[in-house]
Chains A and B, each alone.
Chain A
């Protein structure tokens, strides 16, 4: 058996793919966060780091700041407060980094690959790129013939195709509290301790709302496996349409879990210096810092998977494009399986990046909550709302599933309509974006005397604008 048939090999590849995405996007997010903040606030944002290259300054739009920051973290003194608990102080950043990366294990990055259906031979002996059936799973297939024949198992694009799926996510995500709490208590610093207390109570509070907000979705999808959830959404309607309240609740709870603005009380600079990681520096600080951004990515992945259709695109299914409302098929075109896999993976990552961007915009738009407001929001708004959501979802779902076939067909058509809405909205957005991009900006320069003198002899010639 060649190495690529070994399941362990594919697991390794998937881990690498996931980590590569997670680490790179999180790293980029540190840049995006600052650059985007600058642009939102009518500034340029970080753009000064450069590499001298052939007498020019290579700046790459400020991307080098990320590299510079990383280098800086590695060369900084690894400071440990003299009276800190050395062991706990050292493992705290690892503990807070671990769950973020571990959550990614159950997130499906694309549809299950049927290796046997990727390449085929036509009757004439030519190589063909076949498509697979829309429904049903591909089993273990035998490829080749004779001595070369071997069996291929389908490759799920999740690191660990766990049947407990979402439960695993909750279990792991809960460990984040431990990291923050240990970091704060082991630092021997009042601010750190207060930050840790805030972090722990905030995360515990929002954990509840986060878990309960997804119960409705689980009821609807009828599964807790994340890839199954995506398939349900692909066939029916995106979670954001069937569970809009849960989507909002989950999003809010997820932001609070990340301890990002507007819920950044555990590390509120104006109050607590840096909160629970005040005493950290160098690579340990980088782990906290990086974990925060990685958390943005994983939470975006979860949101995409549960509420935004995961790898699926409207009207695109395993067998290709099927434009249909209910039973009325308007247009159908089969697409080879390999393309569907590639499109699915790109779609998933694309949606994730879009949500990361949205989270950054949120961070730069909203002011921080007061602590009591935070607690009120968690316990008195999010929790009752998620409970109500479960109740309403249950009742409605019961009503729908016990209704007649024609009624169910109406809902099926409605579901397809939401797919159409998404497709139209996306198309409109893209067109709007392109048109907007190519419409020149209108500026009204002030004609003041000194400005006119700028280019006069002795005036200060302005240089080309650096971006």
Chain B
């Protein structure tokens, strides 16, 4: 006769908890206490000495060292890695206009949907008319931004970068987090320039070799 409630087999998925072995010294407790106190004192004497002598390990290079590696934040900052994604900036061309062509690739790629762009056409007679368009408005809501850097990856013109080394700033009102085009264009990179190293082929460039209809004749 089968059992009404068949016994469940123990799940073999579980990892058994390992307990440290109970020996006499651990049971007596006193030696373990002494060990613990010794450990505390070791740290105390070493760190105290470092503090008094000013020999603390460097908080940035000595993160894996023994000792106090605290960074006193507002005064000291951990050096940001070279590819740290900070505040956005809009890169500029030589004539200080934004490189952005308002293709909306960044706002498409943005998982937080924090980029708003309104595209505009260059005025009649501008040599870029027809070749390019430009952002009439370029707004980033830094409060919604998650600093994933997808916008930088998506940009086909290297127009938006996050190489400013500035990290998200606290403000006291939401409206202050709405960064407009002018502000984004005014932020320099870590190295202090507003351009990028990647050259850009402009239709008006002297080296622009194209053959047009009239030249061909």
In the complex, the answer to whether A36 meets B44 with C-beta atoms within 8 Å is yes
Mark interface residues in B41-85 (1 if CB within 8 Å of A CB, else 0).
101111111111111111111111111111010011111111000
In the complex, the answer to whether B70 meets A463 with C-beta atoms within 8 Å is no
**Total A-B Cβ pairs within 8 A:** 122
Q: How far is the CB of A385 from chain B (nearest CB, A)?
A: 12
Provide the bound-state CA to CA distance between A366 and B40, in Å. Answer: 10
Mark interface residues in A440-467 (1 if CB within 8 Å of B CB, else 0).
1101111111110110011110110111
Q: How far is the CB of A378 from chain B (nearest CB, A)?
A: 14
Q: Which residue of B lies closest to A361 (CB)?
A: B40
Known contacts A366-B36, A459-B79, A460-B77: does B51 contact A39 (CB below 8 Å)? yes
Provide the bound-state CA to CA distance between A433 and B60, in Å. Answer: 29
Provide the bound-state CA to CA distance between A13 and B81, in Å. Answer: 63
Residue with the greatest number of chain A CB neighbours at <10 A, chosen from B48, B66, B70: B70
One of A40-48, A202-210, A270-278, A386-394 contacting the partner? A40-48
In the complex, the answer to whether B81 meets A465 with C-beta atoms within 8 Å is no
Select which of B37, B67, B75, B81 is within 8 A of A443 by beta carbon: B67
Select which of A365, A444, A450 is within 8 A of B39 by beta carbon: A365
Let me know if B209 is at the binding interface, CB within 8 A: no
Provide the bound-state CA to CA distance between A441 and B192, in Å. Answer: 39
In the complex, the answer to whether A443 meets B41 with C-beta atoms within 8 Å is no
Let me know if A436 is at the binding interface, CB within 8 A: yes
Residues of B close to A454: CB separation below 8 A: 60, 79
Select which of B43, B78, B81 is within 8 A of A41 by beta carbon: B43
Select which of B43, B58, B80 is within 8 A of A445 by beta carbon: B58
In the complex, the answer to whether B76 meets A462 with C-beta atoms within 8 Å is yes
Let me know if B98 is at the binding interface, CB within 8 A: no
In the complex, the answer to whether B75 meets A466 with C-beta atoms within 8 Å is yes
Select which of A39, A445, A458 is within 8 A of B57 by beta carbon: A445
In the complex, the answer to whether B44 meets A40 with C-beta atoms within 8 Å is yes
For the side of the interface on B, what is the size category? 35 or more
Q: How far is the CB of B71 from chain A (nearest CB, A)?
A: 8
Count of chain A residues with a beta carbon within 8 Å of a chain B beta carbon: 38
Residues of A close to B135: CB separation below 8 A: none
Select which of B64, B70, B77, B81 is within 8 A of A462 by beta carbon: B77
Residue with the greatest number of chain B CB neighbours at <10 A, chosen from A43, A446, A447: A446
Provide the bound-state CA to CA distance between A41 and B39, in Å. Answer: 10
Residues of A close to B62: CB separation below 8 A: 443-446
Residues of A close to B69: CB separation below 8 A: 42
Q: Which residues of A approach B to under 8 Å, CB–CB?
A: 36, 39-44, 248, 361-362, 364-366, 433, 436-437, 440-441, 443-451, 453-454, 457-460, 462-463, 465-467
17 A-B pairs with CB atoms under 8 Å apart are: A42-B66, A44-B70, A361-B40, A365-B37, A441-B46, A441-B53, A441-B55, A445-B58, A446-B64, A451-B61, A451-B79, A457-B192, A458-B191, A459-B80, A460-B78, A460-B80, A465-B59
Q: Which residues of B approach A to under 8 Å, CB–CB?
A: 30, 33, 36-37, 39-41, 43-70, 72, 75-82, 165, 189-192
